[in-house]
Structure formats: structure tokens, C-alpha cells
């Protein structure tokens, strides 16, 4: 088969799309003929090389995909050849924490397909049965291959970890990215008053289309000062911040007393300084979140399959143009998700 791969960490020049051995499936695994996949920011970090990341090289990246089951292992019971499926990338080996009733994200051995282990940006992927969900016949491959990671991440952040309530004010930073544009839609669905930041007027207009009530161009003005002005000095109840060092202090300043930050990432760095003076004086909470449980993913994906939520696609490319796909994410070009399709499917 052909697959996206790299043998060394580095810039986009380490990426190639070429021959790779066909995957073998284990007794609990399913072989999927990949029809569409998509990128997330973690693909950039994996390619660059996260501290402590120890990958088998060459590595296939990718944590989102959808396709058709072609073969199942001896112990697989939920799927059979011909089924349409999509990936849930979080893996925790063994015990109740790997069941669909537990919370694998809290397991000590929690890993992510594509980040800590071989990914799915390839013509075929061998995936544990527990990491697949069925996809209805009427759902386009681009939607199924780009929705799961960002929608489940944003859903858990806002609904389960952040406990967002109707009527609250929520600020979503980086609303043009995958998690950001998902969070805007979810906050609007939950009945919140939604504030969103982006870097261009075009991106801000897309954020409005996704459900933002108020938008802020963070390149033109301080978002915390603008939030203070827009809320008559009150601040917002929740900030969705997946950016990190560059935004953290302004995120704290944007909160009302008793407010909370929910975070699932730190793309500009992990060590912004605690801001303890803001936290204790204003009685703020900083809440971490990552991915979702299978049950939480099922909740939000039902709302994707019925059209309530829609992953916006900024561009669809053949996998052979993977360097361009990484550039779109890395340089923050466009709004929403970048989809890649095996060249053999085009």
C-alpha cells in the first residue's frame, strides 16, 4: 500500500507519500480501506518531535479517518466486511478502562493513534475494534473522516468537563481551527452567548456562520480588553483556550469572578506562568481535558451524523500533497479542517 510517512523528525520536507508494508490485523483488530482522513495540530507536533516521544520509524501519522471494513480479526464482534466506520483515536490497553463504559482518557497508559503509535494516513489501516464507530450510509466520507477528534474533544471540554450552562458567556480562542470551530458550534448549541477570536475578517465571518454572537480580531486588538468592553466589565464565564503561552494570561483576564478556563492543548507552549494572583483573587478554575470517552464521542457524533454539527472543510487534497496539507495547518491558512484522500481513491 501507499502511506504518508516520515523517518526523521523535522520540517515538512521529511514527509513523503510512498510504499509501505500492508498492515496485518490482530484478533481484536479491523482492517479499514481508508476513504478520507484529516489533519489535526497534533500531526504537526508529532512530525516535529514532541519531547519524550519515542516512535517506531518510519512513522505513519494521522488520528482521523473513515472508510470501509475489509477484514476483521477472530475476536471482533461489532463489525464485518463492508461496514462503514470512523476512527476514535484514543487507546488505553487492558481492563475496564478500555471498555466503552469507562474513561480511557484517565488511564495511565492512555495513548493516541497517530501520535504515540502508527497512524491512519494511508490506503489501509489496522485499528482495534474498540476504536471504531459505525458511520451511516448518508454521511459523506469527508465529514466522517474529519469530525471525530475535534468534535469529541470540544464536546468533552465544554459539556462534560466545563459543564457549560445555557445563558453563560463563553469565549472561544482560535475559532478558525479544528477544535475552535467545533467549540463555537457546541457552545451555540448549548445555549451560551458565544464570543470568538480569529485573525482575519474572513475567518471571523465563518465563526459567525458557525454560531458566534460576537467576534474579535486578535491581530487588531487585545481580546481580553475587547471582552471587558463588550461585557461592560463583567467578563465571560468560560474561556476555551487550546493555544497556551501566548493567550493564557489574557484568558484569565477575560474571566468573570468564579469563571473557568478549559484547555485541551498548548500550541504556543506549555509554561505560561500560573497567574496565581488572578486565580485565587477571582476564584477561577483551570480545567484540563483531552479527547473523550467512547460514550461521550457517541453523543456528539450522533449530532454530526444528523447534521446538527458540521466540520467545516478548508481544503481537500490527495495524500501525495501531504506537505501542502501540513502547511495549511502550520501557517494557519483557512478555516476548519484539512482533509487528505488516498491518491488511489481519486
CA distances in angstroms from 167 to 192, 223, 238, listed in the order given: 5, 21, 12
Residue 313 or 95, more confident: 313
Under 8 Å between Cβ of 237 and 256: yes
- Listed in sequence order, the residues at least 6 apart from 42 whose beta carbon sits closer than 8 Å to its beta carbon are 63, 112, 114, 115
Q: How far apart are CA 100 and CA 95, in angstroms?
A: 11
Q: Assign 158 to helix, strand or coil.
A: helix
What's the whole-number mean pLDDT along residues 167-185?
Answer: 96
Residue 203 or 99, more confident: 203
Q: How far apart are CA 255 and CA 252, in angstroms?
A: 6
At residue 108, the pLDDT reads: 78
- Chain region(s) in the chain for CATH 3.90.180.10: 2-147+311-345
CATH of 151-288, picked from 3.40.50.2000, 3.40.50.10110, 3.30.450.20, 3.40.50.720, is: 3.40.50.720
Q: What percent of the chain has pLDDT over 70?
A: 97
Residue tagged 464507530 (cell numbers): 133
Under 8 Å between Cβ of 323 and 43: no
Q: pLDDT by residue (tens digit) across 189-207?
A: 999 999 999 999 999 999 9
Residue 95's pLDDT band (boundaries 50, 70, 90)? Answer: very low
User: What is the pTM assigned to this prediction?
Assistant: 0.94
What's the whole-number mean pLDDT along residues 311-320?
Answer: 96
Q: How far apart are CA 10 and CA 6, in angstroms?
A: 9
- In this structure, what DSSP letter does residue 117 have? B
Q: pLDDT by residue (tens digit) across 256-267?
A: 999 999 999 877
At residue 284, the pLDDT reads: 96
- What is the chain's mean pLDDT, rounded? 93
- Chain region(s) in the chain for CATH 3.40.50.720: 151-288
Q: How far apart are CA 193 and CA 152, in angstroms?
A: 21
Using the predicted structure, report yes or no on whether residue 93 has a pLDDT greater than 80.
Answer: no
Give the cell for residue 36: 478520507
Pick the closest to residue 88 from 298, 338, 309, 335 (CA basis): 298
Q: Which CATH superfamily is domain 2-147+311-345 in?
A: Medium-chain alcohol dehydrogenases, catalytic domain (3.90.180.10)
Q: How far apart are CA 55 and CA 208, in angstroms?
A: 40
At residue 110, the pLDDT reads: 84
Please name every residue paired with 244 in a beta bridge, in sequence order, or none if there are none: none
Q: Assign 25 to helix, strand or coil.
A: coil
- In this structure, what DSSP letter does residue 159 have? I
Q: pLDDT by residue (tens digit) across 248-258?
A: 999 999 999 99
Q: How far apart are CA 58 and CA 5, in angstroms?
A: 6
Residue 107's pLDDT band (boundaries 50, 70, 90)? Answer: confident
Using the predicted structure, report yes or no on whether residue 90 has a pLDDT greater than 70.
Answer: yes
Amino acid at each position: 500500500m501507499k502511506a504518508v510517512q516520515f523517518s526523521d523528525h523535522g520540517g515538512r520536507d521529511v514527509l513523503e507519500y510512498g510504499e509501505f508494508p500492508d498492515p496485518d490485523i490482530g484478533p481484536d483488530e479491523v482492517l479499514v480501506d481508508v476513504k478520507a482522513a484529516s489533519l489535526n495540530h497534533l500531526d504537526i507536533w508529532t512530525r516535529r518531535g514532541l519531547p519524550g516521544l519515542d516512535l517506531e520509524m518510519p512513522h505513519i501519522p494521522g488520528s482521523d479517518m473513515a472508510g470501509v471494513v475489509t477484514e476483521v480479526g477472530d475476536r471482533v464482534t461489532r463489525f464485518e466486511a463492508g461496514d462503514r466506520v470512523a476512527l476514535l483515536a484514543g487507546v488505553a490497553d487492558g481492563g475496564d478502562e478500555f471498555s466503552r463504559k469507562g474513561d480511557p482518557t484517565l488511564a495511565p497508559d492512555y495513548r493516541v493513534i497517530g501520535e504515540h503509535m502508527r497512524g491512519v494516513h494511508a490506503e489501509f489501516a489496522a485499528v482495534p475494534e474498540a476504536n471504531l464507530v459505525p458511520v451511516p450510509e448518508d454521511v459523506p466520507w469527508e465529514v466522517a473522516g474529519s469530525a471525530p477528534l475535534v468534535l469529541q474533544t470540544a464536546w468533552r471540554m465544554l459539556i462534560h468537563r466545563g459543564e457549560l450552562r445555557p445563558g453563560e458567556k463563553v469565549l472561544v480562542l482560535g475559532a478558525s481551527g479544528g477544535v475552535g470551530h467545533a467549540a463555537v458550534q457546541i457552545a451555540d448549541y448549548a445555549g451560551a452567548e458565544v464570543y470568538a477570536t480569529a485573525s482575519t475578517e474572513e475567518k471571523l465571518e465563518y465563526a459567525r456562520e458557525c454560531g458566534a454572537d460576537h467576534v474579535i480580531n486578535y491581530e487588531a486588538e487585545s481580546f481580553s480588553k475587547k471582552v471587558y468592553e463588550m461585557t461592560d466589565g463583567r467578563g465571560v464565564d468560560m474561556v476555551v483556550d487550546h493555544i497556551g503561552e501566548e493567550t493564557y494570561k489574557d484568558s484569565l483576564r477575560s474571566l468573570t469572578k468564579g469563571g473557568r478556563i478549559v484547555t485541551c492543548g498548548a500550541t504556543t507552549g506549555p509554561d505560561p506562568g500560573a497567574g496565581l494572583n488572578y486565580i485565587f483573587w477571582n476564584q477561577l478554575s483551570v480545567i484540563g481535558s483531552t479527547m473523550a470517552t467512547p460514550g461521550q464521542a457517541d453523543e456528539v457524533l450522533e449530532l454530526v451524523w444528523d447534521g446538527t454539527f458540521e466540520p467545516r472543510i478548508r481544503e481537500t487534497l490527495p495524500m501525495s500533497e501531504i506537505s501542502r496539507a501540513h502547511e495549511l495547518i502550520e501557517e494557519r491558512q483557512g478555516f476548519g479542517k484539512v482533509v487528505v484522500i488516498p491518491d488511489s481513491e481519486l
